[in-house]
Amino acid sequence: MRNAEKAVSVTQRWKGLLCGIIGVTAVDLNVVPLVIRGLQRLEYRGYDSVGIAVTSSGTLLIRKGAGELEAVRRRLSLDELQGLTAIGHTRWATHGPPNDINAHPHTDCSGTVAVVHNGVIRNYSSLRQELVARGHRLKSETDTELVAHLIEEASAGKPFIEALASALGKIEGTYALGIVNAGEPDRIYFAKMRSPLLIGIGKGVRALASDIPALLDIGKTIVFLDDGEFGYITPNDMAIYRLLPGGGYVKLTPQEVAARTKVVELSPEAASKGGYPHFMIKEIYEQPEAVRETYDGNVEDPALDRAASLLASAEKVIVVAAGTSYHAGLVFSLIAARRARLLLYPLIASEVSYVSDAIGKDDVLLAVSQSGETYDTLEAMRLAKERGATVIGVTNVVGSALDRASDLKLYTRAGPEIGVAATKTFLSQVMLLELLALRTGVETGALDRPEALSIANALKSAPSLLSAALEASDPVATAMARAFNSKSLYVLGRGLGHAIAKEGALKIKEIAYVHAEAYPAGESKHGPIALVERDFPVMVVATSDSPEVAGNAIEMAARGAKVFVTRPADLRLELSSQKGNMSVIDLPPSGGLLELEPFILSPIYQLFAYRLSVLLGHNPDKPRNLAKTVTVE
Ligand code: F6R
């Protein structure tokens, strides 16, 4: 990590991605303008809907609706709200489409408890069934609303803090919660588990929020909460408790609180990029979190089983997508061939119309799109539907056009991606699609259930391997970028390595404006090798399905190419004849588990592209001629 980035590493623990929450309480100040300003600074975390709840003289006033902050602010006259205590939310939808009802805050049956939430409640389905069976009336499709009802249920005759602790004991998953209770108008309760949450301290005012920028108007003194902590703030005070394993809780000592309290010196602009100079590098470093959220949000989702059974019984499975999403589709096709013994048809979305006559009603089209709004992908879906095929949609945006048009919907949970080049959404797609390939393997009978389960369990280590890969890759990528002096390069791989190479080459092209061509390594000697002369750069992605790629690396080196072989450190490669012009870059070991290798091998290419782009004086967040979402043919 660079020095500028190190200086603000204090922010890097706070990477939860979906939604932003804020709560402010003051002695004698209308806090609504502070909440609105905080929401503006949190909008990078989601912009599907907005809501504010104010407690005032024993009542709760809520205004909320679908849309971006400024639109909702005007439509619902949010500035008219007034009060000394308020919570607010900006949403990135995960459970339920982005509409007025699903907008936060959510309330209990009595309408006296209001909750805002960032995170995903994993045992949502069973909790919902139980609450409905006990007579709770649920208004939205969100996981968040359950929290309000769980607190309501636990609060009979008990102090609110105990009811909160009891509700937390029933929830599995991730959360940063802000909660107001009409009966206690000068208090905001909170809880944190693996989603970011901080407390800001000012004079006669305290606040909590998902990220530092939203707190900078309150003051520069910040309390960094840990997982498993909950409590409340008042304008001049706070109490923090720690949940104990097996139930119960203890209060943090003043020394413990002091140890968490820091003064931060950051501008709101720098803070919204987490202290990083660009969104792209921030998002590259958010990947472990995005992949973990995607794993947690899908591993027990019954929709995955339904999708797997559709794939297993389809006549043909056609995987369509554009750009990076297409590369995730290639990874899926390779893993599905191996684990489910299914030969799929991965197609670039804009090419589908030329072969759509061959699509029939017993086929399944799996459409993959981060934005869910890519014209080419939507058009391919339309053609497939016209021919009677079933469409499964994989997207990062609940409520997008792709989502609405899909017969069955699956979601990555990467949060909003602002950098134009896709990074965290790519590896989140890979995670979701790998889980789907494993389930499909069970459906086709190629895998038995325990085997599929054990691989899915091993995938839990992907986020930590990804962190290790980022750490190992960045210094190497930086050094390579500094030494780079060429107008073009090859990125070679076989099998899975080829899919990763294609994604790596796309990143290099689009943000560094260097011609990078990915090629199946075996095919390189059928033409492309003619370009190779002394010091021509060739990067090689070595994966455990294709150690024979070593032979291609040697061929290139023998012709004078400057070869960089990237591999999981435990992958044995026959590189005995390597010369001085070949470097082997050892990345974290995969234990031979192919599914883990995209997480180990992709970061070095993303980082190389990013570092090279910056060194060449480009803006990696906004590459020329490109838009984040391509809604035209
Ligand atoms: C590359 C990139 C694009 C997109 C492509 C598809 O970094 O971002 O290639 O992957 O435009 O976009 P989605 O996934 O939104 O359909």
Distance of CA 301 to the CA centre of its chain: 17
The reported pTM is 0.77
Backbone angles phi, psi at 249, to 5 degrees: -160, 160
Question: Do residue 506 and residue 395 come from a single domain?
Answer: no
Does residue 422 line the site of ligand 1, with CB under 6 A? yes
- Give the pLDDT confidence of 103-156 residue by residue, as tens digits: 999 999 999 999 999 988 889 889 999 999 999 999 998 889 999 999 999 998
**DSSP-derived secondary structure letter, 102:** T
Cα-to-centroid distance, 414 and ligand 1 (Å): 14
For residue 315, tell me if it sits in a domain: yes
153 is written with which tokens? 């249920």
For residue 6, tell me if it sits in a domain: no
Does residue 510 line the site of ligand 1, with CB under 6 A? yes
Q: How far, in Å, CA of 234 to CA of 609, rounded?
A: 47
pLDDT, position 493 = 98
Cα-to-centroid distance, 209 and ligand 1 (Å): 31
Question: Do residue 396 and residue 337 come from a single domain?
Answer: yes
pLDDT, position 4 = 35
Question: Do residue 437 and residue 507 come from a single domain?
Answer: no
- Quote the number of domains for the chain: 3
Q: Which residue's CA is minimally distant from atom 5 of ligand 1?
A: 323
Question: Can you tell me whether residue 66 is helix, strand or coil?
Answer: strand
Low-confidence ranges of the chain (pLDDT < 50): 1-16
Does residue 506 line the site of ligand 1, with CB under 6 A? yes
Distances (CA, A) of 136 to 116, 148, 168, 453, 547: 19, 11, 18, 35, 57
- Give the pLDDT confidence of 233-269 residue by residue, as tens digits: 999 999 999 999 888 999 999 999 998 898 877 666 6
For residue 57, tell me if it sits in a domain: no
- Beta strand pairing status for 364-369 and 317-321? parallel
Does residue 369 line the site of ligand 1, with CB under 6 A? yes
H helices within 195-286, ranges in order?
254-260, 268-272, 279-285
Does residue 423 line the site of ligand 1, with CB under 6 A? no
pLDDT, position 2 = 39
Q: Among the three residues 235, 269, 303, which one is the final residue of a domain in this structure?
A: 269
pLDDT, position 586 = 97
Question: Do residue 418 and residue 508 come from a single domain?
Answer: no
Pocket test of ligand 1: the residue of 279, 283, 284, 325 to mutate, having most ligand atoms within 8 Å of its CB, is: 325
CATH number at residue 131: 3.60.20.10
Cα-to-centroid distance, 59 and ligand 1 (Å): 46
14 is written with which tokens? 């706070």
Q: Domain containing 556: what range? A: 464-615
Does residue 401 line the site of ligand 1, with CB under 6 A? no
Catalytically active residues, by annotation: 19, 628
pLDDT, position 112 = 94
